[in-house]
Structure 1
Amino acid sequence: MFGGFTSLKTPSGTDFGEQMLNKVASQSIRHLFSESESVDISVRCFPSSKLLQGSIDSFKMSGQKLLIRKEFWVEDMWFETDAVSIDFGSIVSGKIRLKQPTQAVAQVTLTEAGINRAFKSELVAKRLVDITEPALMDLSGGEPVSFTDIDLQLLPDNQIRMFAKAALPNGTVPISLTSTLEISRRRRVLFQNSKFEPDAVPEAQRGVSEVLTKAFAEILNNMVDLDRFDLDGVMLRLNRLETEGDKLIFSGYAEIERFPSAA
């Protein structure tokens, strides 16, 4: 019975078992995202009879305009595995269960607009308000300091320029800096070699703004950690990043422990 199932061809020439696997995988992967414009899945298994042993040659996912955790927009994401071992019986029940974790090469593309939207998300914004670090409280007379109205611009050669406002008890101070984006421990994005940009700040506020800018850069360095954004059963790790126009492109790999359950 199963032999006939895996050898049956659809009009397009795709094995029925492979087509069913594509469908189940697509439903599972879509469940990772709060919203998605498109998610394309391609599962390859030749000959299809290998499905009976739970052996797959490769699994590819490509998605566009993906919303993660209802707050973080990803312009494009794709990953591709090598051979994968699965529980064949789980496919029949509409699920995919890995016999063992697997890895995949991966690429994630963010846009400048998507990054700036992320700075307004609850998860990020709450780390930028009511800050009580000593260097800041010395400027604020002992009151917490908050950073708002953040705007990031992507520049060539992995450079960025950032503008923000620091809320002090006696008013708001604009801050401006440039930094180089770097990867640390394959999971953190660091803002290195940060430099105060005085031309964007009124002369009378430059002294205070420079101190605030330094503190802001240190906060950023402790904030962007991929472990806070892991998908269900999928952990991303980074090897390199590069800026390209208004896009920030990350290349690395995904550690896939399990497939999420379709909603």
Structure 2
Amino acid sequence: MECSLVNSFMFGGFVGFNNNQGGDWGENLLNKVATNTIRHLFTHSEFVEVAVRCNPSSKLLQGTIDSFKMSGRGLVIRKDFRTEEMSFETDAVSLDFGSVMQGKIALKQPTQAVAQVKLTETDLNQAFQAELVKKRLENLSAPALTEISGGEVVSFTDVELQLLPNNQVKLLAKANWSDRSVPVSLYCTLAVAKRRRIKFNDIKFEAQDIPDDVRDISQQLTDTLGSILNEMVDLDRFDLDGVKVRLNRLETKGKVLLFSGYAQIEKVPTR
């Protein structure tokens, strides 16, 4: 936050903090600082807005806030992971008001926030192209795979995920090694495990998508891919410094996947 932002509020702020416009000044300053701070957590954002609730507004001087509410759209995390929409609302927050005057937000004590996230089918398929995901699907040498491939490393590529009703998904991919490529196809049900992992449950091989001459080997590869997917999505790998995210539920709705959960915020991350 540039110093000019703080300076622009200084003279009209503390002088009139106790009049009818004082609350607006304090909340506006905090909204701007919080919005700027949160926007910079993302590689890219189409829209980010923060609203502060504080009644009476004089509590701001003591650093006490009833809640923060953030809403965002088109947020990209770590360059490759896009979310269509994200929102959260905190419990009461205790912060160092002096840090706000410096264009920063420093918490005096941890707080919690209720969070909701919406991912589109396109967002999910783009995530499978991220380097962080691809490195967990390529050049694999697990015994179950090398037995199929004759000792060659195996890579799963061209992943295409389709969202279906009742938390179900269909997933297509190709298993490649040496000069061979075998299609794989599965249905499964998405679920939350231990509030931090996404599980691909009840995996079923979809034989009708696979040519007859490779169905047996495709089924073996599908079972192995399912095991890999079940070890891949762990929210602890995506936690921001000072923020721990946990999920309560997920739901497929049309071509979007909805998550609801909460975040334990020890400090406001700087990215």
Does the alignment reach a TM-score above 0.5?
yes
- 2:64 equivalent to 1:80: no
1:120-173 CA-partner distances (Å, limit 9, x unpaired): 000000110111111110011111110000000000000000000000224100
Q: Quick one: distance in 2 between partners of 1:170 and 1:162?
A: 23
Conserved 8 A contact 1:7-1:15: no
Give how far 1:7 is off. Answer: 2.9
Aligned residues: 260
- 2:174 equivalent to 1:165: yes
Give how far 1:100 is off. Answer: 0.8
Conserved 8 A contact 1:7-1:17: no
- 2:151 equivalent to 1:142: yes
TM-score by length of 2: 0.92
SS in 1 for 2:136: helix
Choose which of 59, 64, 68 in structure 2 pairs with 1:55: 64
Choose which of 107, 118, 125 in structure 1 pairs with 2:127: 118
Q: Quick one: distance in 2 between partners of 1:22 and 1:6?
A: 16
1:55-79 CA-partner distances (Å, limit 9, x unpaired): 0011000000100000100000000
SS in 1 for 2:46: strand
Q: What residue ranges of structure 1 are gaps of 5+ in the alignment?
A: none
Counterpart in 1 of 2:191? Answer: 182
Conserved 8 A contact 2:158-2:173: yes
Conserved 8 A contact 1:6-1:18: no
Moved over 2 A (4+): 1-10, 231-235
Q: Quick one: distance in 2 between partners of 1:161 and 1:203?
A: 20
TM-score by length of 1: 0.95
Q: Quick one: distance in 1 between partners of 2:16 and 2:199?
A: 51
Q: Quick one: distance in 1 between partners of 2:46 and 2:94?
A: 29
Q: Quick one: distance in 2 between partners of 1:110 and 1:253?
A: 17
Q: Quick one: distance in 2 between partners of 1:207 and 1:34?
A: 43
Aligned CA-pair RMSD: 1.6
1:94-133 CA-partner distances (Å, limit 9, x unpaired): 1110001110110011010000000000000011011111
Give how far 1:9 is off. Answer: 4.8
SS in 1 for 2:106: coil
- 2:133 equivalent to 1:155: no
Conserved 8 A contact 1:176-1:201: yes
Give how far 1:49 is off. Answer: 1.0
Choose which of 18, 33, 51 in structure 2 pairs with 1:7: 18
Conserved 8 A contact 1:31-1:260: no
Conserved 8 A contact 1:71-1:118: yes
Counterpart in 2 of 1:21? Answer: 30
Q: Highest relative contact order (Cα 8 Å, sep 6+), 1 or 2? A: 1
Counterpart in 2 of 1:100? Answer: 109
Q: Quick one: distance in 1 between partners of 2:132 and 2:270?
A: 24
Counterpart in 2 of 1:40? Answer: 49
